[in-house]
Structures are given as structure tokens and as C-alpha cells.
Chains A and B, each alone.
Chain A
Amino acid sequence: GEDVEQSLFLSVREGDSSVINCTYTDSSSTYLYWYKQEPGAGLQLLTYIFSNMDMKQDQRLTVLLNKKDKHLSLRIADTQTGDSAIYFCAETSGGGADGLTFGKGTHLIIQP
């Protein structure tokens, strides 16, 4: 089946930029997503990108997509303690009509 891979942990200093990386295998992916999950909470959709785009920016968040390398990244500028969470990368090949395939999630740890 299709696969989505992420590093399990990322540690950054408060105020620095965080870059969370994700690779996927599905060459027919149409949408790619970043979700945030805080302890004991549900999944919050942070942003998503259509596969014909290579960049999307939303306030402190920048998503970069390299479709050739099947690589997706999420950059969080000026990382704050409230950004501490698990970040899940996900993809779908069916647009809004299919469910998502998730990575294992990256724990973002903020150092003071």
C-alpha cells in the first residue's frame, strides 16, 4: 500500500523556525495535508496543498511540495511554546472523495 514517512521527533528553540519533513510514495497524490494534534485533543487541519502547487503560505506556516521527489515540508516561523504538538502529514489520491493515509507523526519539542 501507499506509505507516508516522517521523523518521529524534532527539537527547536523558541523563536527559531521549525521545519517538519515528510515523504510519500503515492505518485497519484492529489492533496497533501498537515494536521496538528495537541495532547488529549483531536486533529486540527493546519493547511493542505493541491499537488499542482509547489508552495503555500499562511501566516507563520509555509508548505513546500517537491512532487518529483515526493517530499513535503512544513515550516513554522518564530516557533512558540504553543506550537508544541504532534504534526501529522497525510495524503490522498482521490481529492475529497477518499480517506487519507497518514504518517506516524512528528513530535515537535520546543526548548526555552
Chain B
Amino acid sequence: SAVISQKPSRDICQRGTSLTIQCQVDSQVTMMFWYRQQPGQSLTLIATANQGSEATYESGFVIDKFPISRPNLTFSTLTVSNMSPEDSSIYLCSVSGTGGGEQYFGPGTRLTVT
């Protein structure tokens, strides 16, 4: 399975600021995804991070609020822009495995907006 790291692991930010979350994988992967897990809730897909092109966003998520970069096959960033307390969540990246079907998750970034 892929080894996935995220930075930072947690942060406390003031409203109106932005935070960039990094996701690093120890091997090249085709697909990378970003999810949000609001407190006590399930996971919701934010977007698919496409290498070399713009990310594909799910309904309810927009590029201006959650810009994503994917400069190569092992790295991606998610920025949470102009934050409000409602953005307080755990943000997780995931990658598809090589066996066909499996998807692995990073440890998550716990964001608190005050």
C-alpha cells in the first residue's frame, strides 16, 4: 500500500485567512483525491486532483474556495481560502492503489478556524 503524509497535521487559523495543506505519496500514483470530514460526520469528496490540468470539483465545492495543485504524480496541495468557522474539519487526501480498486487515505489535517 502507498505511504501518504500530510502537512500540517493540525492547525488553528483565524477567519479570513488561507491555509495550504500538502499531501505527499511515497510512489507515483495516477489518481489523488481530497475529502472533507466535518466534526462527527462522514467524508465528502471535494475534488479529484488531476496531474497537469485543473482539478475536477464535486457539486458544492468551487475552485476559488478550494484551489488545488497537482504538479507531479506524488504531490498535491489543497488550499482552504478565506476561512470561516464552518471550514473547521479534517481534510484528507487519498490515492488509488496499483491493484485496481483500492484507495488509501492520508492521516488527515485537522483544521480549526476561530
The count of residues in chain A whose C-beta lies closer than 8 Å to any C-beta of chain B is: 26
Q: Which of B30, B45, B106 contacts A96 (CB 8 A)?
A: B30
Counting from the closest, the 9 A-B pairs by CB-CB distance are A96-B96, A99-B45, A43-B105, A42-B107, A31-B101, A99-B33, A102-B43, A102-B42, A104-B42
Return chain A residues, CB-CB under 8 Å to B97: 96
Q: Which of A31, A96, A102 has the most CB of B within 10 A?
A: A96
Q: List 10 A-B contacts (CB under 8 A).
A: A43-B105, A45-B102, A45-B103, A88-B42, A96-B101, A96-B102, A97-B31, A100-B33, A100-B94, A101-B45
Given contacts A99-B45, A100-B94, 19 further A-B contacts (CB under 8 A): A30-B101, A41-B107, A42-B107, A42-B108, A45-B103, A48-B102, A50-B101, A88-B42, A95-B101, A96-B30, A96-B31, A96-B96, A96-B97, A96-B103, A97-B30, A97-B31, A99-B33, A99-B48, A102-B42
Structural contact, A97 and B96, CB atoms closer than 8 A: yes
Interface residues of A (CB under 8 A from B): 1, 30-31, 33, 35, 41-45, 48, 50, 88, 90, 92, 95-105
B30 to chain A minimum Cβ distance, whole angstroms, is: 7
Q: How large is the interface on B (under 10, 10 to 19, 20 to 34, 35 or more residues)?
A: 20 to 34
Provide the residues of chain B in CB contact with A41, threshold 8 Å. 107
Contact of A95 among B41, B100, B105 (CB under 8 A): B100
- Residues of chain B in range 87-105 having any CB-CB distance to chain A below 8 Å: 92, 94, 96-97, 100-105
Q: Which of B43, B45, B58, B97 has the most CB of A within 10 A?
A: B43
What CA separation (Å) do A111 and B33 show in the bound complex?
37
Q: Determine the distance from Cα of A98 to Cα of B59 in the docked complex, in whole angstroms.
A: 14
Contacting residues, chain B, for A33 (C-beta < 8 A): 103
Complex contact B92–A88 (CB within 8 A) = no
- Let me know if B27 is at the binding interface, CB within 8 A: no
User: What chain A residues lie within 8 Å of B43 (beta carbons)?
Assistant: 43, 88, 90, 100, 102
